[in-house]
A and B are shown apart, each in its own frame.
Chain A
Amino acid sequence: DANTTQPTSMDCAEGRAANLPCNHSTISGNEYVYWYRQIHSQGPQYIIHGLKNNETNEMASLIITEDRKSSTLILPHATLRDTAVYYCISPGGKLVFGAGTILRVKS
C-alpha cells in the first residue's frame, strides 16, 4: 500500500489555483516526495518532486511542511486539461500508486 494519504476528489474552477494536499507522516528523512498525474487513458506523468525545500517548475509548485509530514501540490492557474488523477508518492524508485486525488477542473 501507498505510504501517503490523499483526499479522494476535489473540484477547482478554471483559472483558479488548485491546491492538492497529501499526508506522508511516515516518510523517512531522506525520502523524496513525488507527484504524478494520470489523465484519462494516458500514462502517468511526472510533475515535480522535493525533499525539504519548496520546489517550483513549469508545471506546478510543491510546498512541503517543515516537519515533512505533509505537502501540497499547487497548480497556479488550473485549466480543463489539468483534470486528472493526481498521485503523491514516496519514496521513489519502485513507485507505489495509491488511489490518488481525482481533480476536476470546471469551467
Chain B
Amino acid sequence: EPEVTQTPSHQVTQMGQEVILRCVPISNHLYFYWYRQILGQKVEFLVSFYNNEISEKSEIFDDQFSVERPDGSNFTLKIRSTKLEDSAMYFCASSVSTSGLRGQYFGPGTRLLVL
C-alpha cells in the first residue's frame, strides 16, 4: 500500500541553523500539507500546498518557514533560522483532493530538536 515517507526521522540542530525536512507524498496525490506537534500538545496545521503554491497557511508559518516541491516527487519544509520553540514532531501529509472527498495520509514524522 502506498505511503507517505519522511526523512530524516530525527534531526538535531543548533539554534539559528537552517533545517530542511523532506517528504515524499503518495504519487497520485495533488494536495500536500505540513503539520507539527510539540511534545504533549495537539497536532497543529502549518501549511497546505497545491499546484505549486501555498493554498493556506497558519499563524505559525511565518517568514522563517518555506515549502517547496522541487522535483515533482519531494515536498520540503525549510526552517531558515531555527528557534528552541521549533522543537517538535513535523508531519507531512498528502491527499488526492481537498476537503470533502478523501482523507489525508500522514507520514511517520520527523522529530526536530533545536538546542
Residues of A at the B interface (CB closer than 8 Å) are: 30-32, 34, 36, 38, 42-49, 51, 91-99
Contact A32 B106 (CB under 8 A): no
Task: Say how far B101's CB is from chain A's closest CB, in angstroms.
Answer: 8
User: Which residue from chain B places its CB closest to the CB of A34 in the assembled complex?
Assistant: B103
CB-nearest residue of chain B to A42? B108
B91 touches A43 (CB 8 A): yes
C-alpha gap A29/B18 in the complex (Å): 44
Interface string of B96-115 (1 = CB under 8 A from A): 00111011111111000000
Q: Is the interface of A mostly helix, strand, loop or mixed?
A: loop
B45 within 8 A of partner (CB): yes
> Given A32-B100, A43-B91, A46-B103, do A94 and B108 touch, yes or no (CB 8 Å)?
no
**Docked-complex contact A92 and B99, CB < 8 angstroms:** yes
Chain B interface: which size bin? Answer: 20 to 34
Q: How far is the CB of B79 from chain A (nearest CB, A)?
A: 19
Given contacts A92-B98, A93-B48, is CB(A43)–CB(B103) below 8 Å? no
How many angstroms from the CA of A46 to the CA of B58 in the assembled complex? 21
Q: Across the interface, which residues of A come within 8 angstroms of B48, CB to CB?
A: 93-94
When distances are taken between beta carbons in the complex, the residues of chain B under 8 Å from A34 are 103
Of all chain A residues, the one with the shortest Cβ separation from B44 is A97
In angstroms, Cα B102 to Cα A98, docked, is: 20
Q: Are A98 and B42 in contact (CB under 8 A)?
A: yes
Q: Are A49 and B42 in contact (CB under 8 A)?
A: no
State whether A97 touches B42 (Cβ < 8 A). Answer: yes
Contact in complex: A91, B99 (CB < 8 Å): yes
Chain B residues contacting A38 (CB-CB under 8 Å) are 43
Contacts of A32 in B (CB 8 A): 99-100
CB distance from B75 to the nearest CB of A (A): 14
